[in-house]
Chain A
């Protein structure tokens, strides 16, 4: 078996700042990996580079598709990359407003991915949209309402439904629970966990919430100053941190 996504020797600097400094990372099919680190450690940049949204200055990102072919994500033409993004991948933004069309109804938001993939049957699109609203614990009767009528947590769930409706193999999430209150966070994490297990998704997600990482991730990658300082199974990293920075990070979590 080969990894589904591989980053090799990725480097990117913004002026004097090394956002990524020779970072290599592999993600295996069905695996959930959390990238943790403080603000400015380069974790979101790493996610964007791996997701093909930002080009690295050196290094490459390899994607192994379902047919077994290997694609160099940043060497693809934009058209091919877009096909990959809407067929095989999903991206969940921290702010639901970045991932949703706020002027379009909930059903239209979910349906857009299907239509982009060539869906031209109105009835089927609606059925799929209703089904996915139910799967993310939203009332399908509200599918003709605009996202602005929904609460923050519901918008985030709608964004997840929109991502998953085309059955991607790989999902990127940038702080999916950021900006939500704790009880809503807990339900959302629960939902993501069950969907990931059910669909066998590979997920790469960025968070600064250690608890979220422990709950969702199989493996944790700790970043600091654009480098990966520690990497390992979630429980191992959190219960037996080796690097001084990871120790600090784990020790700073407030126990309720």
Chain B
């Protein structure tokens, strides 16, 4: 069994080296080789057609739908013994989902795990892209609940496929028009649709709009897995990813106008934490690794 994973917050980082507690009762990385090959085929296709959704035969995984079954299958099929895995959930390394998925792969693949963005070769994520700029050779794996960006606008999947084929995205533009007409600004704080490689409209999975610009021309490979919907899509390195907007209402990433209460950062994405029932609240970095690094850097400077 794997050793307990310590919290990344404040007291530093946690890291487990490879091979410590690989359970030989499982095939490497849990999935059988044929399934992994099938998923890799879908991944190659997805990388060849940036932003296009590729169907794949998603398997039952030992966690419920909505907890990252798509992401975990993608991670399982690209994982190699020398990889270093980081798992984040809403930016944090120490939440239940992140800890269990990290522990799962440590057990069934024996790979090294880390909470440091800089050390990781594969980062499975739910709802965030790390603050630290990604580098070439890193792979982001997104857990996607609903891969279809037009889902809320056109309920028939056959019709959405036709709209993708024809590149007819006026529906999404109409939605944006309606948001601006009603509220004076774009209405989606997260999962704001993006145009990939000037061709396919893509849901960036529910990352905040704040993270959308990080997808654009990123040196890292971005893979998206939707387990329940059985779809895989991808953004290869250095691909144009543009958030949908109007010329006179450009897309603006939104961030709470505060400094992080723990590290003082004024540039990172913040979580609002309610501290009591009398309206007390504080804002802290959602990216725990980034927050810890900033704190260490600040202490060193003092």
Contact across chains for A123 and B174 when beta carbons are under 8 A apart: no
Assembly CA distance A107 to B178 (angstroms): 9
Q: Does B182 contact A (CB under 8 A)?
A: yes
The one of B166, B177, B178 that contacts A78, using a Cβ cutoff of 8 Å = B166
Return B154 CB to nearest CB of chain A, in Å.
Answer: 10
The reply to whether B166 and A122 contact each other, CB–CB distance below 8 Å, is: no
CB distance from A162 to the nearest CB of B (A): 12
Contact across chains for A82 and B168 when beta carbons are under 8 A apart: yes
A105 at the interface (CB under 8 A from B): yes
Query: What mask results when residues 88 to 115 of chain A are scored 1 for a CB within 8 Å of chain B, else 0?
Result: 0000000000000100110110011101
Distance, CA A115 to CA B244, complexed state (A): 12
Report whether A120 and B247 are in contact in the complex, using a CB–CB cutoff of 8 Å: yes
Question: How many Å lie between the Cα of A125 and that of B178 in the bound state?
Answer: 12
A53 at the interface (CB under 8 A from B): no
Quick one: CB contact mask for A58-88 with B, threshold 8 Å, 1 for yes? 0000000000000000000011001000000
Do B166 and A108 have beta carbons less than 8 Å apart?
no
**Is there a chain B Cβ closer than 8 Å to A116's Cβ?**
yes
Q: Does B48 lie at the interface of the complex (its beta carbon under 8 Å from any beta carbon of A)?
A: no
A48 CA / B168 CA spacing, docked (Å): 22
As a 0/1 sequence over residues 110 to 148 of chain A, the CB contacts with chain B under 8 angstroms (1 = contact) are 011101100011110110000000000000000010000
* Given A79-B166, A115-B173, also A120-B246 (CB < 8 A): yes
Question: How would residues 144 to 187 of chain B score, 1 for a CB under 8 Å from any chain A CB and 0 otherwise?
Answer: 00000000000000000010011110110110011011100000
Pair B178/A104 contact, Cβ less than 8 Å: yes
> Chain B contacts of A108 at CB under 8 A?
174, 177-178, 181
Most chain-A CB neighbours within 10 Å: which of B181, B182, B248? B181
| 0/1 string, A144-160, CB within 8 A of B gives 1 | 10000000000000000
Question: Which residue of the partner chain, among A79, A82, A111, A113, contacts B177 with CB atoms under 8 Å?
Answer: A111
Interface size of B by CB at 8 A reads 18
CA distance A105 to B171 in the complex (A): 13
On whether the beta carbons of B174 and A122 are closer than 8 Å, the reply is no
Within 8 A of A (CB), among B212-248: 246-248
Q: Which residues of A contact B181 (CB under 8 A)?
A: 105, 107-108, 126, 144
Q: Which residues of A contact B247 (CB under 8 A)?
A: 120-122
In the bound complex, residues from chain B placing their C-beta under 8 Å from that of A115 are 170, 173-174, 177
A122 and B170 in contact (CB under 8 A), knowing A105-B178, A107-B181? no
- B249 CB within 8 Å of chain A: yes
Task: State the CA gap A82–B168 with chains docked (Å).
Answer: 9
In the bound complex, what is the Cα–Cα distance between A142 and B162 (angstroms)?
A: 33
The answer for the CA separation of A144 and B177 in the assembled complex, in Å, is 11
Q: Of residues 46 to 86 in B, which have CB atoms within 8 Å of A's CB atoms?
A: none
CA distance A113 to B168 in the complex (A): 11
- Mark interface residues in A172-197 (1 if CB within 8 Å of B CB, else 0): 00000000000000000000000000
Tell me the smallest distance from the CB of B180 to a CB of chain A, in Å: 6
Minimum distance in angstroms from B166 CB to a CB of chain A: 5
Once bound together, how far apart are the Cα atoms of A144 and B180, in whole Å? 11
* Alpha-carbon gap, A238 to B182, bound state (A): 50
Digit string of A221-243 for contact with B (CB within 8 Å is 1, else 0)? Answer: 00000000000000000000000
Kindly name the residue among B162, B165, B177, B180 whose own CB sees the greatest number of chain A CB atoms within 10 A.
B177
- On whether the beta carbons of B248 and A121 are closer than 8 Å, the reply is yes
For the complex, give the distance between the alpha carbons of A216 and B53 in Å: 49
A105-B178, A108-B181 given as contacts; is B246 within 8 A of A121 (CB)?
A: yes
Q: Which 4 A-B pairs have the closest CB atoms?
A: A116-B170, A122-B246, A115-B173, A115-B170
Q: Can you give 27 contacting A-B residue pairs, CB < 8 Å? A: A78-B162, A78-B166, A79-B165, A82-B168, A101-B174, A104-B174, A105-B178, A107-B177, A108-B177, A108-B181, A112-B171, A112-B173, A112-B174, A115-B173, A116-B168, A120-B173, A120-B246, A121-B246, A121-B247, A121-B248, A122-B180, A122-B246, A122-B248, A122-B249, A123-B248, A125-B177, A144-B181
Give B residues with C-beta under 8 Å from A.
162, 165-168, 170-171, 173-174, 177-178, 180-182, 246-249
Spell out A's residues near B (CB within 8 Å).
78-79, 82, 101, 104-105, 107-108, 111-113, 115-116, 120-123, 125-126, 144
